[in-house]
Structures are given as structure tokens and as C-alpha cells.
Amino acid sequence: MDLALDGAREPVVMELELIEPNLFLRINPQGLDRFVEAVTAAGRGTTA
């Protein structure tokens, strides 16, 4: 969620993402594998 201040200096939502476009999977060498495992487990109704 990205916020900005309006004219009255009150926070307003500028952007709300339903899916994070950058999952930072390249930071951790196992990141992609862990993500795939988590999505697969969620699809099966289990935990990763």
C-alpha cells in the first residue's frame, strides 16, 4: 500500500496492490523454490 498526504496533510491511499509485482526472489538463492513450495502447499490445503 502506498500512501500520500492530501491538501490537509491527511494520509490517503495512492496505490493498493493485490499482488506484489516484485517478490524479491533473487535475494535468497532458495527463494523461488520456497515460493513454489508455499504456493503448492496452499493449493493442497497444507502448510509448507
Q: Model confidence at 48, in pLDDT bands (50, 70, 90)?
A: low
Q: Are 31 and 24 in contact (CB under 8 A)?
A: yes
- Cα separation, 44 vs 22, in Å, equals 24
pLDDT (0 to 100) of residue 23: 80
Residue 11: alpha-carbon gap to chain centroid: 21
Q: What is the domain range of residue 48?
A: 21-48
Task: Examine residue 48 and state whether it is found in any structural domain, yes or no.
Answer: yes
Distance in angstroms (rounded) separating the CA atoms of residues 47 and 9 = 43
Q: What is the mean pLDDT of the chain?
A: 87
**Looking at the domain assignment, is residue 11 inside a domain?**
no
Please indicate, yes or no, if residue 9 is contained in any of the structural domains: no
What pLDDT digit, counting tens, does each position of 28-47 carry?
999 999 989 998 988 888 77
Total domains present in the chain: 1
pTM of the model: 0.51
